[in-house]
């Protein structure tokens, strides 16, 4: 199911589906407490995932042994692009990437129109701080809330998932980080290799003594500049290797990935978080430039050694699609930096989130009540869709999420006229990163808990919807979301929210919308 398709729920399935929801047992981590005063469900509601487990009755499987992924919904579309299958479910792998939003901002600042193919709405909404409650331990809290848009019974429904804050459960495990740095000629442009050197130097000072660092560079060829080195008394060696980074010639990204993972495997540390950090503009132009073969190398290392990938994109010309695919195949995520402040924040402030893991192979499934919901559309997550039947198949790849993260999914939902009662149940399923034991938690939303208008919802909800409307306008202005405001109206809303929150990130959103308005998109 593609993002632009709206999924309709035939009424003849309503009774059976509603009965199934009532009869299904509780999720693994659920409870009966309704803790949200505004009627939105947070944390541990006793509302199960709507499809029954496959295989063992306790939900356990043999684990994600082959890394297979099925992110194409098995549905046929009508001529109008709407999904005709009798399906009230929406299932996707969690995603904490933000690179699409960062690169879009850079493009707009330079007065250029972003390529619609680089716009991923989920990465826009996941770029902003949220107001979700945090769980006490590992796993996720679940928040479901929404507001009516005023257009023909349409509402926007937010499903919010949050992990514990970084450091909440004690010290993180030691890290074994292999930095793979692009030193090709294109990295000489200001805002590329210079940012990497500065940020890596700051990060080296902030890592712990029991952390380890390796450094691989690539241009026409790849070279291990520094084998895996325990910091301790060796920080000077790391600083010396970083300061020696200089741009050379072509971009052999395939060689960089292969050497980087080989170095990570050689320096593998038991009991540590082993991760490859790729810093590049992802513009492969020599050596192996075939994305599939590069991706297969990452997949093999991930399956056999549990090494995950964190991609940091740089540059005004940036291979967004390749970097996003690399991180996806490597069980990791991506971000994009264009300023020194952003680079320092990623490598220094956000470093614990990019090292430690709270959950592996995390997926979400949202069940819309067919008695109250006529149709719905998931905004974004185009390449993160999972077949509904695979929600509890833990061999099917999900997303990796660390402490301090939030994941937001926004839906456009049209309710039946005069509908009253349950609207949606959202369930998240994940594996413990150490034991691979599966866990679940759920939350729900009633139609009566919907705010009457978007401006009546929380400020953070309004920021989320503003970011989603903005992404949707940039991606496909010819087929906007229901009751979509103009760019001018979005700019006014973002300005109001920036002034109210005094949040620099929301101010950046207002500036980006203003830049887009000037381009008359």
User: Is pLDDT of 68 > 60?
Assistant: no
Please check whether residue 310 is in contact with residue 277, taking contact to mean a CB–CB distance below 8 angstroms. yes
Average pLDDT over residues 75-96: 64
pLDDT of residue 432: 93
pLDDT of residue 77: 38
Residue pLDDT, tens place only, 402-417: 888 999 999 999 999 9
**Largest pairwise CA distance in the chain:** 69
Average pLDDT over the chain reads: 83
Among 11-20, 341-350, 425-434, the range with the most confident prediction by mean pLDDT is 425-434
User: Is pLDDT of 60 > 50?
Assistant: no
Please check whether residue 285 is in contact with residue 323, taking contact to mean a CB–CB distance below 8 angstroms. no
Collapse the DSSP code of 516 into the 3-class scheme (helix H, G, I; strand E, B; otherwise coil) and give the result: helix
Establish how many alpha carbons lie within 13 A of residue 143's alpha carbon, considering only the half-sphere containing its beta carbon.
Answer: 24
Sign of the alpha-carbon dihedral angle for 292, 294, 295, 297: positive
pLDDT of residue 7: 82
- In sequence order, the 6+-apart residues with CB closer than 8 A to the CB of 198 are 340, 343, 344
Phi, psi angles (nearest 5°) of residue 277 = -115, 110
Element (H, E) at 506: helix 504-518
User: Is pLDDT of 335 > 90?
Assistant: yes
Element (H, E) at 230: strand 222-230
Average pLDDT over residues 131-153: 92
Average pLDDT over residues 460-465: 98
Please check whether residue 214 is in contact with residue 179, taking contact to mean a CB–CB distance below 8 angstroms. yes
Interatomic CA distance for residues 143 and 159, integer angstroms = 6
| pLDDT band per the 50, 70, 90 thresholds, residue 354 | low
DSSP per residue, 433-469: TTT--EEEEEEEEEGGGSBSSGGGS-HHHHHHHHHHH
Domains of the chain: 7-167+358-515 (no CATH), 175-355 (3.40.50.410)
Residue pLDDT, tens place only, 471-506: 999 997 777 888 999 999 999 999 999 999 999 999
Interatomic CA distance for residues 92 and 74, integer angstroms = 13
Residue pLDDT, tens place only, 162-197: 999 876 555 778 999 999 999 999 899 888 899 889
Nearest to 440 by CA among 26, 9, 8: 26
């Amino acid at each position: 199911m593609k993002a632009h398709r709206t999924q309709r729920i035939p009424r003849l399935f309503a009774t059976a589906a509603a009965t199934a929801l009532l009869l299904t047992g509780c999720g693994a981590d659920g409870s009966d407490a309704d803790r949200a005063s505004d009627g939105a469900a947070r944390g541990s509601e006793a509302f199960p995932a709507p499809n029954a487990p496959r295989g063992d009755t306790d939900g356990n499987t043999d684990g994600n042994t082959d890394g297979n992924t099925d992110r194409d919904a098995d549905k046929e579309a009508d001529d109008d692009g709407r999904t005709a299958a009798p399906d009230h479910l929406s299932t996707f792998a969690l995603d904490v990437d933000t690179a699409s939003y960062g690169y879009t901002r850079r493009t707009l600042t330079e007065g250029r129109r972003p390529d619609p193919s680089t716009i991923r709405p989920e990465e826009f909404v996941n770029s902003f701080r949220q107001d979700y409650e945090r769980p006490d331990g590992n796993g996720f809290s679940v928040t479901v809330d929404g507001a009516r848009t005023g257009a023909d019974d349409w509402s926007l429904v937010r499903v919010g998932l949050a992990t514990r804050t970084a450091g909440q459960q004690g010290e993180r495990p030691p890290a074994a980080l292999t930095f793979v740095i692009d030193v090709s000629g294109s990295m000489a442009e200001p805002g590329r290799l210079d940012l990497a050197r500065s940020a890596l130097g700051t990060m080296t000072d902030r890592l712990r003594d029991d952390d380890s660092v390796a450094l691989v560079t690539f241009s026409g060829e790849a070279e291990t500049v520094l084998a895996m080195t325990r910091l301790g008394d060796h920080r000077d060696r790391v600083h010396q290797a970083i300061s020696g980074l200089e741009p050379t010639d072509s971009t052999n990204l395939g060689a960089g990935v292969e050497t980087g993972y080989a170095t990570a495997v050689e320096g593998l540390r038991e009991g540590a978080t082993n991760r490859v950090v790729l810093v590049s503009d992802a513009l492969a132009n020599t050596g192996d430039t075939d994305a599939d073969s590069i991706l297969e190398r990452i997949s093999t290392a991930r399956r056999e050694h549990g090494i995950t990938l964190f991609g940091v994109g740089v540059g005004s010309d940036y291979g967004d699609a390749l970097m996003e695919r690399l991180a996806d195949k490597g069980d990791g995520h991506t971000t994009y930096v264009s300023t020194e402040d952003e680079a320092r924040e990623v490598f220094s402030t956000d470093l614990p989130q990019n090292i430690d893991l709270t959950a592996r192979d995390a997926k979400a499934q949202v069940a819309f009540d067919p008695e109250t919901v006529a149709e719905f559309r998931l905004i974004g997550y185009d390449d993160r869709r999972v077949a509904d039947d695979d929600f509890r198949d833990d061999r099917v790849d999900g997303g990796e999420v660390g402490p301090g993260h939030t994941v937001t999914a926004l839906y456009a939902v049209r309710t039946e006229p005069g509908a009253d009662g349950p609207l949606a149940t959202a369930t998240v399923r994940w594996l413990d990163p150490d034991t691979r034991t599966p866990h679940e938690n759920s939350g729900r939303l009633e139609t009566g808990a919907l705010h009457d208008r978007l401006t009546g919802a929380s400020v953070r909800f309004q920021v989320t919807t503003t970011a989603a409307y903005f992404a949707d306008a940039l991606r496909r202005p010819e087929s906007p979301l229901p009751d979509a405001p103009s760019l001018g109206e979005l700019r006014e809303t973002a300005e109001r929210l920036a002034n109210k929150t005094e949040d620099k990130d929301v101010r950046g959103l207002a500036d980006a919308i203003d830049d887009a308005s000037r381009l008359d998109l």
